Structure 1
């Protein structure tokens, strides 16, 4: 009895000590975040020898990096090559060197960096411009056309381009167009100051076109004698097309004869693109007026408009017009094959489908079925031994990652994990995935197992934790277990306390308003938002909402998956005017996030059904047919969130 008591006392002391060091590490991290170097140094003393001491040392060095010696920085990088902290410090140090114009040391250390962001790229060009300005300006020119906000390090290069005459007014107008297309009117106004006198659009007129494009076009008081006036009218047509493509098309038909062929094509390409995204019946006609100067993004939506209309020749022509990089995406390879089959060119279609069928994605599954095969998960031909998994779990990078996960530092943990497994072969990846699974870090198990090239284990790519809880609620609400798992894998990758930027939480990523609505419908007592990280509560609420959305959308899992992500009202609004394949519906969802979401959920569901040895249902059967909307016969949504 005395020995047992002594053991318990020792264990209690160890637990208390661990809790203390946890608090010390989190306090050190907070001190670094707020810039309190004295407090950080106090906690650093307590954390000597700790597994995460490299992070504390990084915090200490980073907080005084502007004044740190090259020797201290390089010593840290050399000592921590097994951690992503070395690369993060190297990038930060290079920026310090550039800002202080220590160019010789900057150029010596830059080649050691694995990946340079745009800020460092511009600093590197600045450094080279000291000795070879003409060559550097030529390399810097493409940066001018970057659509987002440029880092400050790029501004001297842009100024040099302007001063050298390397930027023409057309180049300035191109970037103004990019800014206006993105709705960044203030940036467009700043850029316009670089135009020759008299060419810039009047700020007041530009604002009128932005705030009320339909009214601006209706009034017709334009100055089309100079480019600023013409670009403002084109911007108004584009702005109006965002909400009413057909109205924008009517206005532009009345105006286009007063514009150049290039300007006419430019506006029609925008109206066609936005019309296709809005499922406008006139989209293909609008595209036909745009000419051939279409981007891959615009061509993608021309393909989708063709799919909705059943216009297979248009689908094929649009894909063939894409760049090689664009047309090689799985989606366009699959739809090109389908278009070829529709034209009777079966052999050419099969030559595309056969390699596509080896890929483990939505289009790979569809390709398998087009070739007459059945979707099955590959047999796991290799499983690491217990010894191999134990050895892998002792890898210092994975140990640090697991400790960071335990402390809730997921971003740093993910970085540490990815750094640790870089360069792993298939066997090592599967062993690392087993480590992640053992510690219930299912998202890391999925991402790590999904990196393999030849050896695969789909029980790790498609894990099924919490199955007893999930099965209970699947039976309660008469839902397909495989579909629930397919949805959760996409929503949270089984991270129990997952939080989205929008505020959704838990395994099934319910928003606060949705969770409260469902809790009220279920009559849950003592409901609190904090309960959303409880597995049973989250799955209970999530599966109820799945059932509700499924019933509201004709029992169709494709529509219900879209509705779960974007809301059932949107899923209804996206229904076609005449029946289309479920795959076409999924492909033509206007929201990129929801479009990818639905395809992944349906592909996941197929693999889970295979793993659960359910009666095999093809992906095409699951996708089914989406019929036209029957507004009179729809189930009322009421206050459904």
Structure 2
């Protein structure tokens, strides 16, 4: 079996983990390189044998398949052959073989997959007692398996299973066909009440499933149908709430209809919904929780539809605003208008836990300065900045700049024993992920990796992150640290990846390589094969059309497949970024925002008023939350990459500070 860490490499890794920020990139010593070549030859033969065994299995040449198996006993992907061989004959009920596989590979991805397939086979043939034996509550999220489990219990005499059917039935969509016999028994037992039908009817409309809602109306008794039909009418046309004479009954069901209709109308016309709310609320129909939820919903819709004054007035009527996002919206609206007093007023109304974050601590100090408030609760603005400046965050760096402090770049890798490193390195799931990664089956590699990671302790996750980082599987190293909630191992979280390609691109464009590292880290976490839902591809997440246009401008040959090549992706991404920097006079704040949201949007966001915005206010009030976080991360990551490469980089340059936006 190929060792992922040779002793020499282990020693080198440990030194790098605890060494200085400017430690060189890892390289294998000569003896380790020789060992790697030798082991790789053995592994290459195993891969050939594996391919031959799979071909024999596919062609049902079982004698050839069994002859090859002894050669693959140390090959990480052997379980995939064994799984396929058993899965092909589940209909013959190989219970002993299924059990043996589950015992041999407990908690593995394939054990989970085989159990699911085996349960479906048992249910299909109504082998309910065996189904009970193999079923686990970890499958409760699979409606088909969960319903079959309830049916199995009922069929084997456990009538208490009926008590668990309601939660599966009362959802806003149709369930799997396997649930039908369970629902029929539940209904026959008289447990499908009129109220549960009404609850599901409301959920179906909320989910936009009107056909199911109409079906459910027919299941109601005649005396319950009129209000259900009224709810459907309101769903189709929420302006019916203007006909107040139709909504006079003061019953819990009518309250549901009113609250549903007000929220539905608010999505279309928040101002009209607010006016109606005032009238209906005056009748004191609603509970305190219903009132608060509706007020918050109306306020959020008023904000989205550009009615900040109405939203502010509504929220001002609430004695204690517990929705931080709404108060934050009003703070940003006031900041955009440079209404410092209003911003400070709403900041004071933030929930305490939000007010104590680095973001709002910074803004408290900043607003105190603007309003010339010398101190509050015994703390001056400088005191507050100082408390934030120790953190490795965007606001920590801003605060450090305010005071002229060094940045708080905490780099404190967790101490992980060699025994844990070895155990994680040799764990079957990590070995399988590694082998899939090496042979280029990234989908299977990702599945094995994440399945294995979810079952690790914090220390094991950190070890896995370091192993992935050494492989060059940087995204998974970063993700492992996130899963472990260990934020202070900067070598793994901010790898110096693709250094040659980055330096070449930086030289060709005169872009600071720190900015390129920051963009690539933010965009893809250095995943070469990253693809976004909208089609952005590769390390720097370029859209194919953008990449093609950039290639034409730069005279670079291009095909869409080039975006998966690090050198091409970085070359094109850097040139596109360079174009944006040129458009925005070298301002990284605007260029980063444009890289994420597009240059036309950034031009729209730039203030057209005589009173331009300070750079920190402009960043804080970027309309898109994603772009706001993106810009903050890119600037912060540039600082961190300066540290990682033994340099210094200000969060913002003097030119960027002086450029009012």
Taking structure 2 as the reference length, the TM-score comes to 0.69
Task: Check the 8 A contact 2:487/2:493 in 1, yes or no.
Answer: no
Q: Give 1:378's aligned residue.
A: 411
Cα offset for 1:542? Answer: 0.7
Query: Which piece of structure 1 moves more, 52-61 or 585-594?
Result: 585-594
Alignment pair present for 1:446 and 2:478: yes
> Which residues of 2 match residues 483-494 of structure 1 at below 5 A?
483-494=515-526
Task: Check the 8 A contact 2:468/2:477 in 1, yes or no.
Answer: yes
> Which residues of 2 match residues 620-631 of structure 1 at below 5 A?
none
Alignment pair present for 1:537 and 2:599: no
Q: Give 1:402's aligned residue.
A: 434
Match among 279, 303, 306 for residue 257 of structure 1: 279
Task: Check the 8 A contact 2:217/2:225 in 1, yes or no.
Answer: no
Q: Give 1:175's aligned residue.
A: 203
The 1:418–1:551 alpha-carbon spacing in structure 2 relative to 1, beyond 3 Å, is: same
Task: Check the 8 A contact 1:581/1:624 in 2, yes or no.
Answer: yes
Q: Give 1:80's aligned residue.
A: 105
Task: Check the 8 A contact 1:265/1:289 in 2, yes or no.
Answer: no
The 1:281–1:88 alpha-carbon spacing in structure 2 relative to 1, beyond 3 Å, is: same
Q: What do the CA deviations read for 1:446-476 (whole angstroms, capped 9, x no partner)?
A: 3335556779542222111221221232243
The 1:455–1:584 alpha-carbon spacing in structure 2 relative to 1, beyond 3 Å, is: closer
Match among 308, 311, 320 for residue 284 of structure 1: 311
Q: What's the Cα RMSD here?
A: 5.3
The 1:75–1:287 alpha-carbon spacing in structure 2 relative to 1, beyond 3 Å, is: farther
The 1:361–1:188 alpha-carbon spacing in structure 2 relative to 1, beyond 3 Å, is: farther
Task: Check the 8 A contact 2:391/2:408 in 1, yes or no.
Answer: no
Q: What do the CA deviations read for 1:202-229 (whole angstroms, capped 9, x no partner)?
A: 79966864xxx8xx68998995568598
Counterparts of 1:304 and 1:17, CA distance in 2: 61
Cα offset for 1:79? Answer: 0.9
Cα offset for 1:23? Answer: 5.6
> Which residues of 2 match residues 533-572 of structure 1 at below 5 A?
533-553=564-584, 555-572=586-603
> Which residues of 2 match residues 240-639 of structure 1 at below 5 A?
240-241=268-269, 248-250=270-272, 252-253=274-275, 257=279, 262=286, 269-277=296-304, 280-282=307-309, 284-285=311-312, 287-288=314-315, 299-310=324-335, 311-319=343-351, 333-335=357-359, 337=361, 344-345=376-377, 374-380=407-413, 393-420=425-452, 432-450=464-482, 457-525=489-557, 527-553=558-584, 555-573=586-604, 594=627, 596-618=629-651
Cα offset for 1:21? Answer: 5.2
Cα offset for 1:62? Answer: 3.6
Task: Check the 8 A contact 1:442/1:463 in 2, yes or no.
Answer: yes
Task: Check the 8 A contact 1:375/1:618 in 2, yes or no.
Answer: no
Q: Over alpha carbons, which structure has the higher Rg? A: 2
Give unpaired runs (5+ residues) of structure 2.
Answer: 1-37, 336-342, 369-375
The 1:600–1:274 alpha-carbon spacing in structure 2 relative to 1, beyond 3 Å, is: farther
Task: Check the 8 A contact 1:264/1:290 in 2, yes or no.
Answer: no
The 1:496–1:237 alpha-carbon spacing in structure 2 relative to 1, beyond 3 Å, is: same
Q: Secondary structure at the match of 2:308?
A: coil
Counterparts of 1:301 and 1:70, CA distance in 2: 56
Cα offset for 1:506? Answer: 1.6
The 1:397–1:597 alpha-carbon spacing in structure 2 relative to 1, beyond 3 Å, is: same
The 1:278–1:384 alpha-carbon spacing in structure 2 relative to 1, beyond 3 Å, is: farther
Q: Secondary structure at the match of 2:443?
A: helix
Task: Check the 8 A contact 1:179/1:187 in 2, yes or no.
Answer: no
Cα offset for 1:312? Answer: 3.9
Q: What do the CA deviations read for 1:67-95 (whole angstroms, capped 9, x no partner)?
A: 53332221111111273322333344445
Q: What do the CA deviations read for 1:9-35 (whole angstroms, capped 9, x no partner)?
A: x9999898677557668879xx9xxxx
Q: What do the CA deviations read for 1:325-350 (whole angstroms, capped 9, x no partner)?
A: xx5xx897445645776682466999
Task: Check the 8 A contact 2:502/2:570 in 1, yes or no.
Answer: yes
Counterparts of 2:280 and 2:258, CA distance in 1: 9
Task: Check the 8 A contact 1:283/1:305 in 2, yes or no.
Answer: no
Counterparts of 1:24 and 1:566, CA distance in 2: 49
Counterparts of 2:151 and 2:142, CA distance in 1: 12
Counterparts of 1:90 and 1:333, CA distance in 2: 45
Q: What do the CA deviations read for 1:178-221 (whole angstroms, capped 9, x no partner)?
A: 425xxx55565556556621123479966864xxx8xx689989
Task: Check the 8 A contact 1:401/1:414 in 2, yes or no.
Answer: yes
Query: Which piece of structure 1 moves more, 499-508 or 533-542?
Result: 499-508
Alignment pair present for 1:198 and 2:222: no
The 1:125–1:569 alpha-carbon spacing in structure 2 relative to 1, beyond 3 Å, is: farther
Task: Check the 8 A contact 1:397/1:420 in 2, yes or no.
Answer: yes
The 1:438–1:559 alpha-carbon spacing in structure 2 relative to 1, beyond 3 Å, is: same
Counterparts of 1:170 and 1:353, CA distance in 2: 54
The 1:176–1:375 alpha-carbon spacing in structure 2 relative to 1, beyond 3 Å, is: same
Task: Check the 8 A contact 1:269/1:290 in 2, yes or no.
Answer: no
